[in-house]
Structure 1
Amino acid sequence: LAKKGKLLLSIFAVIFCISMGLTACADNRGTVSYRAPGTPLDASGDASADAKDSLDKVYIIEENNRDEGKLTVMNITSLREFRYPYNVSTEFLDKYGDTDSVEDFKPGMAITFDASGRYGMLTTVKKSNAVWEWDDLKNFSFDESISAMQFGGENYRYTDSTLFLDGNNLMERKDLIGGVDEVMVVGVDKEVLAVALTKGHGYLQLDDTKRFDNSLIQIGSYDAALVSSGKTFTVPVGTYAVTIANNGWGGTKNVKIKKNVTSVLNLESMKGKGPKSCRLKFEIDVDGAKIYLDGKRVKTDKTMTVLYGAHSLKVTADGYDDWERTLYVNSPTAVISLDISDSKQGSSNNSTATTNNSGTTNSSTNSSTTNDTNGSTVTTGNGSTTTTSSGTTQKERDKAQENYLSTLADSVVNTLGSLSSD
């Protein structure tokens, strides 16, 4: 009797283990309720069973867990979420059907798939050709009054079911900063299905600024602004050559900006050995033009030594409006090529080109449109107040920058890009 009891107990144990094993396998294709967007489908169901047309077969990747070999996806029509396993035998294909790498299947991407393998194993995953995709988008904004994402001169509607993703995690729409962050956008017609952050931002805070207050700081080719105590810039992730100069002091330091991290830059530590000077030469294409630096007339095509920091620059010529700027000298050598052909009396344009040992940059401006440091076009003639990376409005930024330029060629386009005509 005891032996029969043990036998029955063993049989029950085996049945229980088999049952648990099947349940565990079924869980591999169960739903995932991050947002509970729709009615969950039973684990034993088929995620594509309710497909009626091509769009019903399209899913957005919410998570690609490569460690566990699982894809979490959301159907774009039913809004149901599923998790499917994959392995080395799973084929990953681009939208043309060519072999692709599993690493390229990132959150936010639209796919179709075949999950006919045992226990819902993915046999094929393919990038969908039923949607449009906009990669590396930087110049975008959101208009909450009409629930629209704006880019490329168009409005695209977002909804409560639009996914906003930062890697494998959901994020808030308000945490995206247009003109700073880079995103991938996926949609159908005029509707946004998913926005995935591809390059985020961090912060650069200035500290111990007294020696350099009201002088020019340049953050690589990304931004240029006047220094003030505690000033903080919102900057895309990356490494930047930050340059500062004033009264013969200054230098350049590489600063690494990390995602969602505030990097504090002590400007006093950048003063270097002083006084520093620049070997500077001016060029101009207008006959009879006179150039004044700090109130003293200088000769063109003649190299001079100029102290690091701010200097007044003025150009006069018959038939032209006087042209005045504050020149920030912050490089060892520079050639300033002044083109004032568009500054004839009655004209609203000013043009300037700067050349130094790091290259040549040309820039022109007019009274109604300016180029922001992040490459976007911002209209200022109508009094708009677009917010920029440093937390000020574009109108304030124009006013601060309208009278200065720099000897750094790779940044002069940013400095002059926001000049307003007098």
Structure 2
Amino acid sequence: MNKRYLMKAVACIWLMTMLSITGCGQKAATEGNTETQTQTEEERVDTGFVVTNPDSYDSADTAVLVDINEIDKTVTLLNLDLCRRYTLSMDGTTRFGDKYGKAISLDQLQEGDIVDVTFLKTQKHLTSMQLAQAAWQYDNVERYELNAVRHEVSIGGETYKLSEDTQYFSQGHSIEEIDLNPSDILTFHGIDSTVLSVIVEKGHGYLRLVNDENFVGGWLEIGQTQIVRITEDMLVTVPEGSYQVDISRSGGGGTKYVVINRNEETTLDIGDLEIAEAKYGMVLFSMSPADAELYIDGSQVDPSQPVSLEYGIHQIIAKADGYKSLTQYLRVGQESAGVDVQLDKVDSDSEESTENSSSAGSSSTGTASGSTSATTDTTTTYYRVHIDAPENVEVYLDGNYVGISPCSFKKTSGSHVITLRKSGYETRSYTVQVDDEQKDVSYSFVDLTVSSQTSK
């Protein structure tokens, strides 16, 4: 009997021991799991980093693309509503597209484009950028009229506004409206009736003649459209490109070829050209209307009689009441020639004096070439335009030498090109709109920058 109780006691002790061990194991496991969970939670620290994907964005905008920095992998944009700039980063997840959503590369976008963008504002990360669907674009425009006073530009018969926030670009760099030259070929971007950006597709350089003493007073033809009278120390603004240049005076001269690079000065030596013995041709003009006044090289002549003109190029201006004035150029190269000059009547909504670049009619013994400008400005006798800064630089007005700054010249209302030059520095030109108010005008421009060729 005692033996039976002893075995039961041993069994109970063994059972209690096993339960105790099992409980300790479960507690240890629970404590271990709790410790691991606590450790994992401690490792999950919020770093603020968000993994981006092609659909990650919280903001959208239509803006002007101001800068592309491929080294820093950023783009700078101009918001159209607030007119503020902001910069976004881009990476391999950023998508680029044309205005129809078709995928393109970043290289196919440029400063001045109007774009629709999506981005993560908190991360300043660009999600997508494509050409704006609401924007219009005029590419490589040669014929336009910029009016700096009215802040307007006329393109193809349509007039668009230029705002204070319109952006201007040349070779990927921001410039000012005043840096544009009437000879520049431009691309315009805008929305509705406002121009938002202007890109210089083809800029301008400068042409200087050397050893030109024998040809002062003669004529310089650059390509097919630009004709200027040769003056002392002239510096002509020319669209960049390759040109045939014809130099003539008193029937002499010759042909040269030049390459004009953007913002660079090119010199052309014409000292080897010969001056021929003066020859003259008789030119008979047929005027319509018959009472029109005729001026040749600034002097009035009687068009009812044959006019003796020296071989070469001559400027003719015809005027009549109720008709548009005509300014063009005539080349005399034969003993006799006949030229028809016909004026157009003034429309009720147009000005009397307009530019006409068409050629005048001529017989087989004479030729006429197109004009590049019309004489419509009014010159005052007292009021002057002053160039105050930068100092000690050469100043040219429409290609003609004025003097060393500070200097001044007679005030002539209208659009003019002021060119600043100094040896060792980059030549700069500015297009200014001179008013017709009875007072002096002063201009101060930024200092010229050292030429890159000089700094090397």
TM range (shorter): 0.5 to 0.7
The one of 99, 117, 125 equivalent to 1:113 is 117
What's the offset of the Cα at 1:243? 1.4
The 5-angstrom pairing of residues 160-175 of structure 1 reads 160-175=164-179
CA distance in 1, matches of 2:163, 2:328: 44
Name the stretch that deviates more: 157-166 or 111-120. 111-120
Aligned AA for 1:366?
L
CA distance in 2, matches of 1:316, 1:193: 49
The structure-2 alpha-carbon separation of the partners of 1:384 and 1:352, relative to structure 1 and needing over 3 Å to count, comes to closer
The one of 283, 291, 300 equivalent to 1:314 is 283
The structure-2 alpha-carbon separation of the partners of 1:238 and 1:311, relative to structure 1 and needing over 3 Å to count, comes to farther
TM-score normalised by length of structure 2: 0.51
Look up the match of 2:355: 370
The structure-2 alpha-carbon separation of the partners of 1:118 and 1:162, relative to structure 1 and needing over 3 Å to count, comes to closer
Report the RMSD for the aligned CA atoms in angstroms.
4.9
Aligned AA for 1:256?
V
The one of 80, 96, 100 equivalent to 1:76 is 80
The structure-2 alpha-carbon separation of the partners of 1:58 and 1:259, relative to structure 1 and needing over 3 Å to count, comes to same
CA distance in 2, matches of 1:378, 1:47: 54
1:47–1:82 Cα contact (<8 Å) kept: no
Q: What per-residue deviation string (whole Å, max 9, x for no partner) do you get for residues 105-151 of structure 1?
A: 1111101123369965545321112122222234221232x333444
CA distance in 1, matches of 2:374, 2:57: 48
Secondary structure (helix, strand or coil) at the match of 2:271 reads helix
Aligned AA for 2:201?
T
Secondary structure (helix, strand or coil) at the match of 2:242 reads strand
Secondary structure (helix, strand or coil) at the match of 1:224 reads strand
2:327–2:373 Cα contact (<8 Å) kept: no
Look up the match of 1:142: 147
1:352–1:364 Cα contact (<8 Å) kept: no
The structure-2 alpha-carbon separation of the partners of 1:379 and 1:164, relative to structure 1 and needing over 3 Å to count, comes to same
Matching of residue 226 in structure 1 with residue 229 in structure 2: yes
1:58–1:76 Cα contact (<8 Å) kept: yes
Secondary structure (helix, strand or coil) at the match of 1:264 reads strand
The one of 251, 256, 264 equivalent to 2:254 is 251
CA distance in 1, matches of 2:72, 2:226: 42
2:326–2:356 Cα contact (<8 Å) kept: no
Structure 1, unaligned stretches of length 5 or more? 1-14, 27-45, 52-56, 276-306, 331-345, 355-362, 396-422
1:369–1:378 Cα contact (<8 Å) kept: no
1:235–1:389 Cα contact (<8 Å) kept: no
Aligned AA for 1:205?
R
CA distance in 2, matches of 1:62, 1:325: 58
CA distance in 2, matches of 1:90, 1:315: 71
CA distance in 2, matches of 1:323, 1:104: 61
What's the offset of the Cα at 1:249? 4.5
2:169–2:175 Cα contact (<8 Å) kept: yes
The structure-2 alpha-carbon separation of the partners of 1:351 and 1:84, relative to structure 1 and needing over 3 Å to count, comes to closer
CA distance in 1, matches of 2:205, 2:132: 33
The structure-2 alpha-carbon separation of the partners of 1:376 and 1:58, relative to structure 1 and needing over 3 Å to count, comes to farther
Q: Which has the higher strand share?
A: 2
The one of 239, 245, 250 equivalent to 2:242 is 239
Secondary structure (helix, strand or coil) at the match of 1:130 reads coil
Secondary structure (helix, strand or coil) at the match of 1:174 reads helix
The structure-2 alpha-carbon separation of the partners of 1:365 and 1:90, relative to structure 1 and needing over 3 Å to count, comes to farther
The one of 83, 88, 108 equivalent to 1:104 is 108
2:244–2:257 Cα contact (<8 Å) kept: yes
1:93–1:125 Cα contact (<8 Å) kept: yes
> Does 1 or 2 have the higher relative contact order (CA < 8 Å, sep 6+)?
1
2:218–2:250 Cα contact (<8 Å) kept: no
Q: What per-residue deviation string (whole Å, max 9, x for no partner) do you get for residues 225-248 of structure 1?
A: 221211221111122111113456
What's the offset of the Cα at 1:201? 1.5
Aligned AA for 1:85?
S
What's the offset of the Cα at 1:191? 2.1
The structure-2 alpha-carbon separation of the partners of 1:364 and 1:187, relative to structure 1 and needing over 3 Å to count, comes to farther
CA distance in 2, matches of 1:71, 1:376: 45
Q: What per-residue deviation string (whole Å, max 9, x for no partner) do you get for residues 37-96 of structure 1?
A: xxxxxxxxx9973x5xxxxx2110101234444321112113232223345664432212
Look up the match of 2:183: 180
The number of aligned residues is 293
